Amino acid sequence: MSREIYQEPLVGRYTSKEMQYLFSDKLKFSTWRKCWIALAEAQYELGLDHLINSEMIDEMKANQDNIDFDLASAKEKEIRHDVMAHVFEFGTKAPKAAGIIHLGATSQFVVCNTDLILQKKGLQLLRKSLLHVIQNLTNFALKHKDLVTLGFTHYQPAQPTTVGKRNTLYIQDLLIDLDYLDKCLEQILARGAKGTVGTQATFLELFKGDDEKVRKLDVLVSKKLGFDKVFAVTGQTYTRKHDCKLVETIAGIATTAHKFAVDLRLLSNLKMQEEPFAKNQTGSSAMAYKRNPMRSERMTGLCRKLMGLPTNFMSTYANQWFERSLDDSAIRRMDIPQAFLLCDAILKLFINITSDMVVYPKQIEKQLLAELPFMATEKILMAAVEKGESRQEIHEVIKEHSIAAGMNVKEKGGNNDLLERLAQDPLVPFSLKELEGLISDFDAFSGRASKQTQEFIDEIVSPILEKNRNCLGEIDSSLDV
């Protein structure tokens, strides 16, 4: 790797080899050749055997991966056309077929169909990683379904929930992402063989006006490329509206990951829960004690980048004039691979973080005890009424002492002494021990959180994971840096 030119961090630092290969020149251009082979085969099978023979097709197949990239690059510099440069280069490897490669096709025959093939494979890779995150969070939620913790609304202490229940919220959002991803996979169709502006005029000429054969060619080429369905109509390209929906789906995963990562960073500050921390990891160059949530921070940054990409695709689609405008080419070369690589990096981090998160029950309990007296006031109020006290009078007493206890915490840095204040008030019919007893059962404050967690996983999550059991397999979530 040269140290004298810019290196893309997504490739050099963050992404998997599988996703890197998916957008490599090797796979891209060998897939172009796959498209040309499929076209020639279909044309031959549908009656153009006076132009194309089996020897030509066999020669093309034998050289699908035999690419002279230097020759293609030199030819592109000469003629300023990448597709025709590779038509030329392929012809040097398959000289018998040189005259029929790309017969009747436009450049977007190979470009669009290849893009769609790679998108399909890319979504399948992301899907596998997404399922791993769901599996990790499911295990974590089950492990901690009974661990009562403070809930937060507006990042202010609220009614308790459980650590497990909180994580079901992330799982639910990831299942929504999975559903959208699956729908997107279903909607990836082949561009097929549509001709220069989508009218199939050249193919109609090749087949001497035989409409039926031209229609069959479109379908047959698509099947040979691995598609069950084909776009019914196109311009020169498949509609870039598809790209908008594709990247919205991918960016949707980033929004879920971003929310999770920010929540974990907040929990890390509270010392309640942390991401894994390697044995020899350095948290800060200056402050040796620090355990910075660097993986979650990195994930947040990568998510922010991905969440910004859909606007590019919307602008590109909106500016496609009539049958096609070339201003989509340069930006798509960057943005489509980048969207997949970003999501791959995010999910790799997500898997790594969720595989070994650390929870601190004692710190969670400390936070609960500091806030629970405030949350128990309604319970104290009801218990006092049961002893014959006036609800309105006790309410005023509790309100007065709650405000005073809050000021003691905020202004003086003291402890939450609400229970002590209430115990000393003659209008409150409870001793300090009795009041402490009213808040001692944390579970009573978390409602059905534990049961909801178990029910959600049993009824919703587990069937999906079981259905996709064969998709999970092994996955490398280790981080180089």
**Statement: residue 287 has pLDDT above 70:** no
> Quick one: pLDDT at residue 285?
47
More confident residue, 4 or 244: 244
Question: Residue 456: pLDDT above 90?
Answer: yes
DSSP secondary structure code for residue 184 in this structure: H
254-258, 408-412, 435-439, range with the lowest pLDDT: 435-439
Per-residue pLDDT for 102 more than 60?
yes
**Digit-coded pLDDT (tens) for 303-333:** 999 999 999 999 999 999 999 999 999 999 9
Across the range 336-361, mean pLDDT stands at: 97
Q: Residue 290: what pLDDT? A: 54
Band of pLDDT at residue 481, cut at 50, 70 and 90 = low
Give me the numbers of helices (H) and strands (E) for the chain, helices first please: 22, 4
d(CA 469, CA 141): 19
Cβ–Cβ under 8 Å, residues 171 and 461: yes
pLDDT at site 379: 82
CA 212 → CA 46, 113, 209, 271, 277, distances in Å?
Answer: 10, 22, 9, 69, 64
pLDDT at 288: 46
Amino acid at the residue 199: T
| Percent of the chain with pLDDT strictly greater than 70 | 95
Q: Where are the domains of the chain?
A: 25-103+192-230, 111-146+158-191+238-359, 376-445
Q: What is the mean pLDDT of residues 87-99?
A: 97
Mean pLDDT of 54-72: 97
Quickly name the fold that domain 376-445 has: Ribonucleotide Reductase Protein R1; domain 1 (1.10.40)
pLDDT digits (tens, 9 = 90+) for 6-58: 888 889 889 999 999 999 999 999 999 999 999 999 999 999 999 999 999 99
Pairwise pLDDT comparison (277 vs 160), residue with the higher score: 160
Q: What is the pLDDT of residue 157?
A: 87
Fold assignment, 25-103+192-230: Fumarase C; Chain B, domain 1 (1.10.275)
Q: Which of 48-62, 152-166, 178-192, 429-443 has the lowest mean pLDDT?
A: 429-443
What was the pLDDT predicted at 238? 96
Tokens of 168: 């079901």
* 436 vs 430: CA distance, rounded Å: 10
Residue 335's pLDDT band, with cuts at 50, 70 and 90, is very high
Report phi then psi at 105, rounded to 5: -100, 165
111-146+158-191+238-359: CATH number: 1.20.200.10
pLDDT for 278 equals: 65
pLDDT at residue 344 above 60?
yes
pLDDT band at 475 (very low <50, low <70, confident <90, very high): low
468: pLDDT strictly greater than 80? yes
> Residues 371-389: pLDDT tens digits?
888 877 888 888 888 888 8
Q: Is the pLDDT of residue 289 over 60?
A: no
What is the arithmetic mean of pLDDT over 245-259?
A: 98
Catalytic residue list: 154, 284
